[in-house]
Amino acid sequence: MSRALDPDVDPRALETQPECRSPRIWSKSRVLSFLDRCAVLRGMSRAESALLVGLLTFAWLGLRSSLAQSPKEKSKEQDAILIKPEKVQGCYELGTLEWRPDLKLGKDAVFITPPPRIQILVEGGTSGFEKNEYLVRPAPGLQPSIHSSTYWVPKGPNSIELIFTTGFSGLSIYFKLEGDTLQGTAQTFWDFDRKQQTAHVVAHKIDCLPKK
């Protein structure tokens, strides 16, 4: 004999439970939990069911809030796993990059040519693309390249990326630090459709004093 519902029971509480409407779809492992839930809902008044839903919602929101991290906390965690600027600061010999494929760029080659020796700094830039990024400059005694912005970005616990850009074209170099040597790959970028070139780069750390 079916049990009659109390007049104070909110029928919507049962209507929203598909397991209460269609017991034939229950699996053996779920019957007990569904029966318990349906029994609880049937025994509740409308006010009680509303209170239960509110409490459960409040508990869920509280859990999400406790698990969530603020942007500052996430930023601190990310900074903790990035390479420290002091670990890579100093001067390095880049030499001449051998680009592949060789596109015979002629005068445009200047846009993908960094200084042969560079200095990686721990100071940050203040304007343009360099703003809030660590600076890269020609080693003392060398002329700068054509690029208006030259900077580097930590990419991992042992890797960095150098960017040389005019604001439109230039090159980037992804390096991994191995002892006192940076090894990685350079690639070109343009503000128009031109085939990308790459070059293997090994940059040895050198003295920053200008060569005589």
Residue-level pLDDT at 179: 94
Say how far residue 42 (Cα) sits from the centre of its chain: 49
Residue-level pLDDT at 75: 57
Q: Which amino acid is at 33?
A: S
The verdict on 56 and 85 lying in the same domain is no
Secondary structure of the chain as H, E, C letters = CCCCCCCCCCHHHHHCCHHHHCHHHCCCCCHHHHHHHHHHHHCCCHHHHHHHHHHHHHHHHHHHHHHCCCHHHHHHHHHHCCCCHHHHCEEEECCCCCCECCCCCHHHHHHHCCCCEEEEEEEEECCHHHECCEEEEECCCCCCCCCCEEEEEEEECCEEEEEEECCCCEEEEEEEEECCEEEEEEEEECCCCCCCCEEEEEEEEECCCCCC
Structural domain boundaries enclosing 133: 80-206
The verdict on 116 and 161 lying in the same domain is yes
> Is the model's pLDDT at 60 over the cut of 90?
no
> Is the model's pLDDT at 210 over the cut of 70?
no
Which pTM value belongs to this model? 0.65
Q: Kindly report the CATH number assigned to the domain that includes residue 104.
A: 2.40.128
Residue pair 35/29 in contact (Cβ under 8 Å)? The answer is no
Domain count, the chain: 2
The verdict on 202 and 121 lying in the same domain is yes
* Residue 74 covered by a domain: no
How confident is the model over 150-179, as pLDDT tens digits?
Answer: 999 999 999 999 999 999 999 999 999 999
Instruction: Please report which confidence band the pLDDT of residue 138 belongs to, taking 50, 70 and 90 as the band edges.
Output: very high
The verdict on 42 and 124 lying in the same domain is no
The verdict on 60 and 126 lying in the same domain is no
Q: To 10 degrees, the CA torsion angle through 122, 74, 185, 192?
A: -100
Residue-level pLDDT at 82: 96
Which of 123 and 42 is assigned the larger pLDDT?
Answer: 123
> Is the model's pLDDT at 11 over the cut of 50?
no
The verdict on 53 and 92 lying in the same domain is no
Burial class (CB in 10 A: 0-12, 13-18, 19+), 201: buried
The verdict on 23 and 44 lying in the same domain is yes
Residue-level pLDDT at 44: 58
The verdict on 24 and 120 lying in the same domain is no
How confident is the model over 108-136, as pLDDT tens digits?
Answer: 999 999 999 999 999 999 999 999 999 99
Residue-level pLDDT at 1: 46
* Residue 3 covered by a domain: no
Query: Mean pLDDT, to the nearest integer, of 14-39?
Result: 46
* Residue 5 covered by a domain: no
Pairwise CA distance, residues 161 & 129, whole Å: 14
Residue-level pLDDT at 23: 43
* Residue 149 covered by a domain: yes
Q: Greatest CA span in the chain, whole angstroms?
A: 104
Q: To 10 degrees, the CA torsion angle through 35, 40, 41, 44?
A: 160
The verdict on 169 and 193 lying in the same domain is yes
Q: Find tokens 């104070």 and name the residue.
A: 8
| Two tokens, residue 45 | 């008044």
Residue pair 197/100 in contact (Cβ under 8 Å)? The answer is yes
The verdict on 133 and 51 lying in the same domain is no
Instruction: Please report which confidence band the pLDDT of residue 98 belongs to, taking 50, 70 and 90 as the band edges.
Output: very high
Query: Mean pLDDT, to the nearest integer, of 69-76?
Result: 53
The verdict on 159 and 184 lying in the same domain is yes
The verdict on 16 and 117 lying in the same domain is no
Percent of the chain whose predicted confidence (pLDDT) is above 90: 60
* Residue 72 covered by a domain: no
